[in-house]
Amino acid sequence: MKLNNILLLAIVFLSLTSCLEEKLAFTVEAAPVLGLIEAAPAAEGMVAYVGTFYALDKSGILDNNVGIDSIPVSGLELKVETQGRDALQTVITGADGSATFTIETTALEGVTRLEWAGTFEGKAFRILKRL
């Protein structure tokens, strides 16, 4: 009987103290640009990725004849980083909204994800690309 009471008290105590703190949570918001990142041909011993970035004009979203329009973002500065936030390179998009990231294969040893970070219209964003 005593053991049952102790177990009951332990369960009640654990259920009251096992709450998550709100400061550990974070929210994920959509990026202010659409980023399409694809592998590209590269010289031997090199790796290349092309990122194309678009601003989305949603003014015609309710009109099925217009829809959403994608506009290439030129002059967008992007920092390409590893999953550990180690800076690899800074690239800038051209008139077609694309930027090419090229690096030696050995520099990406142990890297599983590239993060393309930038700011568009005052809003910071980060687009992830698994390798």
Mean pLDDT of all residues belonging to the chain:
85
pLDDT at residue 20 greater than cutoff 70? no
Amino acid (one-letter) located at 92: I
Residues 85-114: tens digit of each pLDDT? 999 999 999 999 999 999 999 999 999 999
pTM, full prediction: 0.73
pLDDT at 26: 63
Each domain of the chain, given as residue ranges in start order, spans 23-130
- 28-34 long-range contacts, Cβ below 8 Å, gap at least 24? 31/125, 31/126, 31/127, 32/120, 32/121, 32/123, 32/125, 33/73, 33/76, 33/118, 33/120, 33/125, 34/70
Which of 2.60.40.10, 3.30.1220.10, 3.40.50.1220, 2.170.190.11 would CATH assign to domain 23-130?
A: 2.60.40.10
| Statement: residue 19 has pLDDT above 80 | no
